[in-house]
Structure 1
Amino acid sequence: MQFKLLILSICTFLFSQGMFAQYSFEGYVDETLKDGEIFLSLVEDYRKLSGVYNEQILIKTKADTTGYFSFTGNNLPADNRMYRIHVDTCPDDAPNTSHVMGHCKNSKEIIFIANNTSTIQLPTSFADEVFCKVVSEDKRAEAFLKIDSLRNDMHYAFNSYRSEANRKVNTEKWFTIFQQYGEQLQEPLAELYIYSFLSDRSSLLHTYYLEDLKNNNYYQDLLVRLQQKYPETGYTQQYEAELKADQYLINSIAEKAQIPWWLYLIGIVSILSIAGNFYFFGKWRKAKEPKITDENLSNQEKKVLDLILENKTNKEIATLLFVSVSTVKTHINNVYRKLNVSSRDEVKTLFSK
């Protein structure tokens, strides 16, 4: 009798586990998607959040005539994971890239957080929009939708005025908004979703992300949170590897930016050489310039020169010096020769310097 009661207890326990330890993801698609296939995927690579990848697919189904579909079972991980439900109208013989690249007509998808006990409902909106609302007792299930809403606000802010100043201000602002919002959700997977597009190498935000990574402890703190909550998952391992790679990239750029000592030495020698060339060239120019001294101009020639600089004519100079005009011309020719000039204008120009 006791043995039968034991067997009955075990069966009851197993039955209860089968009843309660299971997930349920259900929802509706609109009229245009009723004939499409609906995929449930477990996303373990947060760089592959959009599209359909064969290695991620858990199960696929089709909606009934009302557009209703459901996924139920008890084969999911007990801890939270990222899941995606995707529906499109690709034919069966379409290449897998059509799903991944979004080439299929009427393609729709939604990403959410769930586990083996989650109940998720995906109703259509008042305008028959698909996958724009998540109903669940666990508010973290709809975190991705709220983050997507913030992303739309960010895109609007960036596109409101396209200038370098606007981009720089908004980049810093939205990095802070997303990081603080992610921490408030108390779900590292939601923070990974944020990190996936803030650090995207193809995004304009990537340059700022690398700068932010230099001094912001947020990224290391996120790694600690992932290690505590999801220690053996691919999420944590992938994030840790990417973080190390980006930190290595930053250090490599910094090392390249550092100028070797010998370049400093070459620069100093070059500057001294240029300065020396200017100095000696100046001395050479000065040496080439005519010097007005008693050795190269006579007293009478100096008087003639002074009167030339006073704009006196030959006749006026002759009158002032009590000599003939012919003698004045002789003195002027001597002045020209000794000063290496050929006209009064050149004489004036020379002495105006």
Structure 2
Amino acid sequence: MTFPSGYAQSQNGSGQIFGQLHLDSTWNKTIYLSHIPDLKKMYTMSRSMIIAESKVDSAGIFEIDIDFLPEDNNFYRLHIAKRNSAEASIIIGGEAENHFFLVANKNTVLEIENRQGIFSDVSVIQDDKNKVMREIDNIVKLIDSTNYHSSKVKSDFVERAFNEQLRQIADTCKFPLVSLYALHKSQYESDIKTNEEFYQDFVNKWHEETSPYFEVFRSKIPKPKSVPSSSLYYLFGLLMAFALGYFLRQLTSGKTKNEKLLQTLSLQERRIFELLQKGKSNKEISDELNVGISTVKSHVSSIYSKLNLKSRKEVLNFKS
């Protein structure tokens, strides 16, 4: 292919769409670029939507400078009109389909070429995001051609399978508008109720996108159901009650356990235990109870064993 004269300039940062079209005598030699403000208007055509045009020379070469476009990506459409037809006319479906869609901004450099038909088999030589756009369009064409030759049951099955493939492209595509284009082509509105979580995740993934296309899409996706504030207070109250109950049970169980241990002491051991908790020495306890020191030591050893204690410090800390 012979590159257009503006190609060298496009390499230096000026946005441009250029390429070569193999046109027969049934087509006008002008290619038009239209802005698509809303995905619902992709198949709407009027002269006011056309924002640029270029003559196609005898070799089929054209070029459109697009450095006047905004910096943000938008949807656009390229089309060529049939000879003796209005310039603002598009043909939908079939090999004579005279348009295709693309995503571009003022810095986009896009080279295209049609191999057969008019736009039925367009190859994108540069620009990865528009290569994916063409893959999406090819899937949609497969759906249409399969449905045309199939029974209703088979066509429904095939369409669901292809639409799932489009949703997978949308889920993994790194280009936000191209990802949205794949969902649009998958007829997502009829699938929202079935796969609501998928679309909510998609919205979350592209939450920083502020383009009007995403705003329209978000308006159609139900927001995740939130717990009412009154329910949150109720749940918080239940958790607090549970925590308090658990804490009280721990205190109660601890007290009951110690009380049960104290009940294992004999009457004399209880007296000695009370004196131990007052900090009395064995000699003082012996004098107060009028028993021998060896007897006091024997009782202290028994108390330690029954209460699982190891020292007088633990005796002082023992709570009944």
Q: What range describes the TM-score normalised by the shorter chain of this pair?
A: 0.5 to 0.7
Equivalent position of 2:185 in the other structure: 197
Question: Residue 112 of structure 2 corresponds to which residue in structure 1?
Answer: 122
Does the alignment pair 1:227 with 2:207?
A: yes
Distance 1:184-1:69 versus aligned 2 partners, 3 A rule = same
Q: In the TM superposition, what are the counterparts of 1:70-149 in structure 2 within 5 Å?
A: 70-89=63-82, 91=84, 94=86, 96=88, 99-100=89-90, 108-125=98-115, 127=116, 129-130=118-119, 132-149=121-138
Structure 2 residue runs without a partner (length 5+): 1-8, 225-320
Change (3 A) 1:143 1:241: same
- Unaligned stretches of 5+ residues in structure 1: 1-16, 201-205, 248-353
> d(CA) in 1 for partners of 2:60 and 2:44?
21
Decide which of 37, 41, 45 is 1:44's aligned counterpart.
37
Paired position in structure 2 for 1:306: none
**Distance (whole Å) between structure 2 residues aligned to residue 95 and residue 129 of structure 1:** 16
SS state of the match for residue 41, structure 2? coil
Alignment of 1:162 with 2:151, yes or no, is yes
The one-letter code of the counterpart of 1:192 is: L
Normalising by structure 2, what TM-score? 0.56
The Cα of 1:26 is off from its aligned counterpart by 0.9
- 1:50-74 Cα distance to aligned partner (Å, 9 max, x none): 3533343211232122222110141
Counterpart of 1:238 in structure 2 is 216
Give, in whole Å, the separation in 1 of the partners of 2:114 and 2:87: 29
Equivalence for 1:182: 170
2: CA distance between counterparts of 1:158 and 1:31? Answer: 30
Aligned residues of 1:27 and 1:69 also touching (Cα < 8 A)? yes
Measured in 1, the distance between the counterparts of 2:19 and 2:220 equals: 35
Equivalent residues of 2:10, 2:16 under 8 A apart: no
Q: CA 1:225/1:41 → structure 2, altered by over 3 Å: closer, same or farther?
A: farther
Q: Distance in 1 between matches of 2:16 and 2:61?
A: 13
Residues 123 and 131, structure 1, Cα contact 8 Å, conserved in 2: no
Partner of 1:152: 141
Contact 1:18–1:74 at 8 Å: present in 2 too?
no
Asked whether the equivalents of residues 21 and 116 of structure 1 are also in contact (C-alpha less than 8 Å), the reply is no
Conserved in 2, the CA contact under 8 Å of 1:22 and 1:74? Answer: yes
Share of identical aligned residues, percent?
17
Contact 2:17 2:66 in 1 (8 A): no
SS at match of 1:61: strand
Residues 78 and 99 in structure 2, CA contact (< 8 A), matched pair in contact too: yes
When you count helix as a share of all residues, which structure comes out higher? 1
Aligned to 1:35: 28
When residues 35 and 189 of structure 1 are mapped into structure 2, their CA distance, relative to the original with a 3 A threshold, is same
TM-superposed deviation, 1:83: 1.8
Q: Which runs of 4+ in 1 moved over 6 A?
A: none
CA RMSD of aligned residues (A): 3.5
The aligned counterpart of 2:318 is none
CA contact (8 A) 2:97 2:119 kept: no
**1:216 lines up with 2:206 in the alignment:** no
Deviations 1:216-267 (A, max 9, x none): 3222223234432x31x2101221233359x9xxxxxxxxxxxxxxxxxxxx
Secondary structure of the structure 2 residue equivalent to 1:35: strand
Once residues 27 and 163 of structure 2 are traced to their aligned partners in structure 1, the CA distance between those partners, rounded to angstroms, is 39
Q: CA deviation at 1:19?
A: 7.9
Bigger CA radius of gyration: 1
Deviation at 1:21, TM superposition (A): 3.5
Deviation at 1:134, TM superposition (A): 3.5
Q: What's the CA shift string for 1:16-36, capped at 9, x where partnerless?
A: x99834211012231336634
Distance 1:112 1:134, change over 3 A: farther
Q: Could you say if the C-alpha distance between residues 84 and 146 of structure 1 is closer, same or farther in structure 2, counting changes exceeding 3 Å?
A: same
One-letter identity of the residue aligned with 1:140: K
Q: Is the 8 A contact 1:42 1:56 kept in 2?
A: yes
Q: CA contact under 8 A between 1:88 and 1:107: conserved in structure 2?
A: no
